[in-house]
Amino acid sequence: MKNAPSDLGIMGMGVMGRSLALNLACKGVKVSVVSTRPKEVADFSVDPRVLGLPLTYAKQTKDFVASLKRPRKIWLMVVAGDVTDKVLADLLPRLSKGDVVLDGGNSHFQDTARREALASKRGIDFLGCGVSGGEEGALNGPSLMAGGKRQAWKLFEPLLRSAAAKDMDGQPCTAWLGLGPAGHYVKMVHNGIEYALMQALAEVWQVMDQGFGLKPDQAAAVFESWKDSDLDSYLLDITARVLRHRDVGGGFLIEKVMDRAAQKGTGSWAAREALTLGVPVPSLVSAVEMRSLSGYYEERQRSNSQHVVLKGLSRLVAQRLLFPQLRAWMELSQIAAFSQGMHLLHAASEEHGLRLRLKEVLRVWSGGCIIRSRLLQRLNGLYTENSAPANPLFVPAFFKLTFMQVKDVEQAAASLASSGLPLPTLRASLDYVLSLASPRLPTSLVQAQRDCFGAHTFERLDKKGALHALW
């Protein structure tokens, strides 16, 4: 233990905790570290990268707390859920009034609200902060989405600004985004959008692979050619990188990767929350469902689904002129995913009293995070600090520009309709935009059906009030 008190304490020396400690220590911030697994601290202390850095290694929580300047600032990077609760049960009694604890894990926003109330009883401030960017982002500059009391944010702000990535104007990609669990709510929606974008890109690759018969490096070249548009993004970059990656045994690694995708639950949290608030997010929901469906690997093999896909190959090989339409479909899907996510945030801000700063959300997402994209610049222009649309696609001028792509997208959808290729997120995105453009939806029949079997009433176009018919 060093005698000089530390500016910050980081609890949790997993990949993200280590990377954040290195990030800040390299910038001159004095950091104390501790872990529920002492071996993690011991291993970190002998990492060649820490040589000469202002780091203090604690073996126990009491030593860790004692090493920090007051008011103490502690950043938790431990496993979300029960582990976080156990760490807080041990930590909070050792702290003093005015200290601040920031949870940087993928915690559910309702857990964050509960923990903030628990800490507040002891006079300790609690911040929930979404961290996006993975190991590379944590080390070189992540996107940091903070929520809680503004005075607590002010204490942590210099540290978060120092750690964060930079936006196009050179400003740190971090901000106070709202009250209570706002930070973790924004991160939850961020992850839902991430699911939708990843699934849409995967479906586009499936068309290139199984439909057009392109080799992985050929598909990568197509993705790379799309960087001259709003599709320019981190996810587009890594998609091309993954497709080009060679296996140690020869060939492309992607051809050996099992099509069973894991998930940690944040995407399904966003989908469930949207259903609870009555916000349509079909692109996000379809992406979550496809991850779940992919888990039934053995059942899919027994169903011989590959036979269905192979039917359409002969008709699709000659359809390479579909590339412009396929690009338009990906652009439409990207807009749909972000629009659905922003709609959910707008609704949650009112429902949960979060007072979300939606323009700042888009700015914070513009650097360091997984969903950073050139499109965010255009979306940001639709918002002001004091005025925000409920949904970007509710802005007439933006919707008009988006809808101009629908003809090309419909051509692609029609060409692929008989291919046997499942494209749920791409199709959900198209249907979402078409539904918003429809002057009359078939739900008029649904409302009449509800009244017929349950006397639930309906509204008329030419009269006001709830009515019931004698069907």
Say what the pLDDT of residue 319 is.
52
Q: Decide if 3 is inside a domain.
A: no
CATH number for position 286? 1.10.1040.10
For the cut 70, the answer to whether the pLDDT of residue 305 exceeds it is no
pLDDT band at 343 (very low <50, low <70, confident <90, very high): very high
| Digit-coded pLDDT (tens) for 349-386 | 999 999 999 999 999 999 999 999 999 999 999 999 88
CB 394 within 8 A of CB 400: no
Q: Decide if 55 is inside a domain.
A: yes
pTM of structure: 0.94
Same-domain check for residues 446 and 404: no
Domain boundary (145, 176, 207) is at 176
Say what the pLDDT of residue 210 is.
87
Q: Which helix (H) or strand (E) holds 432?
A: helix 424-437
Q: For residue 113, what are its two tokens? A: 């609200």
For the cut 70, the answer to whether the pLDDT of residue 96 exceeds it is yes
**Residue 146 corresponds to which amino acid?**
A
CATH number for position 20? 3.40.50.720
Phi, psi of 424 (to 5 degrees): -65, -40
b/e sequence 152-174, b meaning 16+ C-beta within 10 Å: bbebbbebbebbbbebeeebbbb
Say what the pLDDT of residue 280 is.
98
Q: Is 194 a catalytic site residue?
A: yes
For the cut 80, the answer to whether the pLDDT of residue 334 exceeds it is yes
Q: For residue 153, what are the CA distances in angstroms to 71, 222, 364?
A: 13, 43, 15
Same-domain check for residues 107 and 195: no
Same-domain check for residues 113 and 56: yes
pLDDT band at 317 (very low <50, low <70, confident <90, very high): very low
Same-domain check for residues 166 and 60: yes
Q: Residue 373 has what DSSP assignment?
A: B
Same-domain check for residues 157 and 264: no
Say what the pLDDT of residue 277 is.
97
Q: Decide if 181 is inside a domain.
A: no
SS3 content of the chain, % helix, strand, coil (to 5): 55, 10, 35
Say what the pLDDT of residue 318 is.
44
Say what the pLDDT of residue 315 is.
47
Same-domain check for residues 298 and 224: yes
Same-domain check for residues 47 and 126: yes
10 or 213: whose pLDDT is higher?
Answer: 10
Same-domain check for residues 59 and 107: yes
3 or 252: whose pLDDT is higher?
Answer: 252
Minimum mean pLDDT among 30-34, 167-171, 259-263: which range? 259-263
For the cut 70, the answer to whether the pLDDT of residue 309 exceeds it is no
Say what the pLDDT of residue 265 is.
82
Same-domain check for residues 300 and 244: yes
CB 175 within 8 A of CB 360: yes
Domain boundary (152, 176, 200) is at 176
Phi, psi of 373 (to 5 degrees): -160, 155
Domain boundary (176, 197, 220) is at 176
| Digit-coded pLDDT (tens) for 401-440 | 999 999 999 999 998 888 888 999 999 999 999 999 999 9
Same-domain check for residues 85 and 164: yes
For the cut 90, the answer to whether the pLDDT of residue 263 exceeds it is no
Residue in 40, 73, 116, 187 annotated catalytic: 187
Work out the mean pLDDT of the chain and round it to a whole number.
93
**What integer is the mean pLDDT of 123-138?**
95
| Total domain count, the chain | 3
Residue in 40, 116, 194, 360 annotated catalytic: 194
CATH number for position 468? 1.20.5.320
pLDDT band at 390 (very low <50, low <70, confident <90, very high): very high
Q: Decide if 95 is inside a domain.
A: yes
**Domain around 462:** 440-471
Same-domain check for residues 276 and 395: yes
Say what the pLDDT of residue 3 is.
67
SS3 label, residue 74 = strand
Q: For residue 102, what are its two tokens? A: 């920031």
For the cut 90, the answer to whether the pLDDT of residue 211 exceeds it is no
For the cut 70, the answer to whether the pLDDT of residue 312 exceeds it is no
| Digit-coded pLDDT (tens) for 163-181 | 999 999 999 999 999 999 9
1 or 128: whose pLDDT is higher?
Answer: 128
Same-domain check for residues 233 and 382: yes
